[in-house]
Amino acid sequence: MSRRELNGVLTVDPGMEGTGWAYWTLRGAIIPEDTGVLKTTVDRKLTIMRMLDLSRKFADVLKRWTPRAVVLEGVSLWSGSKRSQTAAAGGATFKLATLLGIYMQSCDTHGILTVHVIDPRAWTGNLNEEQVVRRVTLATGESYQRHVADAVGIGLAMVGAL
């Protein structure tokens, strides 16, 4: 993807504990126009209500920026990863996949027809979380909080700048 094609794109790192997002309108440097993290204070035991709260906040971001396209990080289960296996066994992978579907439905509801779901390894390669944060900081000169750094990293990776 060219830098120009990143204009008007919302990149998203979905998560039940925090959904990071970055909206891109490039005017020189490859730095997002705006970023944020969606969080919920709904009790952790009320999973569906947490998802509903996050969905409403995601819809607010879509209304605010009206992106021409949305890129969501998908869900992967890595057989060689103990962390991934633990998340799957505890239901976290299912919850994340459900949240991803809710976000996709929200895009459709808001008339955003171009929605891409990318595999985490497709944009991170073999980088771990710390390495992604370090590269995002080097590429942008900015420091981003957890989840937001991943959303920015997705955009950077899309234009070959990560």
pLDDT in tens, 16-67: 999 999 999 977 778 999 999 999 999 988 889 999 999 999 999 999 999 9
Summarize pLDDT for 11-27 with one digit per residue, the tens: 999 999 999 999 999 77
Report which residue type is found at 84. S
Query: Is the distance from CB of 42 to CB of 23 less than 8 angstroms?
Result: no
Number of domains in the chain: 1
Distance CA 85, CA 79 (A): 7
Q: Give me the pLDDT at residue 126, please.
A: 82
In which element (H, E) is residue 122 found?
A: helix 120-124
Full domain range(s) for residue 149: 4-158
Q: What's the pLDDT score for residue 83?
A: 60
Specify the pLDDT at position 45: 85
Give the CATH number for residue 13: 3.30.420.10
Phi and psi angles of residue 120, each rounded to the nearest 5 degrees, phi first: -55, -40
Cα separation, 151 vs 83, in Å, equals 21
Is residue 20 within 8 Å of 150, Cβ to Cβ? Answer: yes
